[in-house]
Amino acid sequence: MLLDVIERKPESGGGLSKPPVVFLHGLFGRARNFGFFQRRIGEFRRTLALDLRNHGDSPHGPADYPTMAEDVYETLKAHDAIPAVIVGHSMGGKTAMMLALRHPAAVERLLVADIAPGAGGFQQNHTLAAALAALPFPASLNRTEADALLSRVIPEADVRNLMLQNLRLGKNPGWTIGIHEIASAMPEIVGWPPVPQETNFTGRTLFVSGGKSRYIQPSNYPEMKHLFPHYHLETIPDAGHWLHAEKPMEFLSILEGFLNELAL
């Protein structure tokens, strides 16, 4: 499946000899959520932000991490963007890890934001997806009414704001994302598929965790080391799971440092 892509290139034309930087969003997100980082990194590097399947403007279909990784691989090949630096948050981070494990030559280096390889994360979203899929829509809907509708199942205003980007307002309102496909895929999204024992990615890998988040735990370190033997871990102390949205300048500084490091 070819995915929808937002691409930026430096106006000067410089930096195009370096591997492009690819951004993969988290659950219920979309490519444009990385707009700030695309604008900043795009000043000196080619960048691509992808809508993963069932999200944004990409097609819908059954989802699991091997399938989503193949979507990304096919899309990057179609855009002549291999090898690339892959930056993935949450669900996008698991997709990025799976891409690196299945197609290591396609990944120059890997940054994974607040998720670990293995089952876990997304606990509140496990039931949320089904609840959102079951919401009844009226004949028409404006933004204020949509916020009230979502408040039935999402008490947090910031989470509602995230979900509002996935709604079609006006007459005949509804979801623009594959909400039913996402709800059906939640066991796979929460989980992590079996990986052959001999499989690993030996490229430079950076995990970035939020100090207030519990998505990366010491119990994950052995599997992180096994699958990504050259990994490092950095923490943004006062950030939660949405660390790049909560602490954009801190995340940008880490990302820029990572891009400028010499390859192993």
The rounded mean pLDDT for the chain is 93
SS3 labels along 109-123: EEEEECCCCCCCCCH
Cis geometry, peptide bond prior to residue 193 (ω within 30 degrees of 0): no
DSSP bridge partners of 161: none
Residue pLDDT, tens place only, 177-208: 999 999 999 999 999 999 999 999 999 999 99
What's residue 264's pLDDT?
A: 44
Q: Which residues neighbour 210 within 8 Å (Cβ) at sequence distance 6 or greater?
A: 114, 235, 236, 239, 240, 241, 242, 243, 246
What's residue 162's pLDDT?
A: 86
- Please state whether 150 falls in left (phi above 0), alpha (psi between -120 and 50) or beta: alpha
Measure the CA–CA gap between 1 and 51, rounded to whole angstroms: 11
What is the token pair recorded at 194? 């079996």
Cβ atoms of 47 and 15 closer than 8 Å: no
Measure the CA–CA gap between 195 and 227, rounded to whole angstroms: 9
Q: Give Cα 69 to chain centroid, integer Å.
A: 11
pLDDT confidence bin for 11, thresholds 50/70/90: confident
Residue 70 one-letter amino acid: E
User: CA quadruple 216, 97, 185, 78: dihedral positive or negative?
Assistant: positive
Place of tokens 């090949």: 77
Mean of pLDDT values over 245-264: 88
Residue pLDDT, tens place only, 87-122: 999 999 999 999 999 999 999 999 999 999 998 765
Measure the CA–CA gap between 60 and 230, rounded to whole angstroms: 35
Residue 123 has pLDDT above 60, yes or no: no
What's residue 158's pLDDT?
A: 81
Measure the CA–CA gap between 133 and 123, rounded to whole angstroms: 17
Residue pLDDT, tens place only, 32-69: 999 999 999 999 999 999 999 999 999 999 999 999 99
The DSSP annotation for 42-68 comes to TTTS-EEEE--TTSTTS------HHHH
Residue 126 has pLDDT above 90, yes or no: no
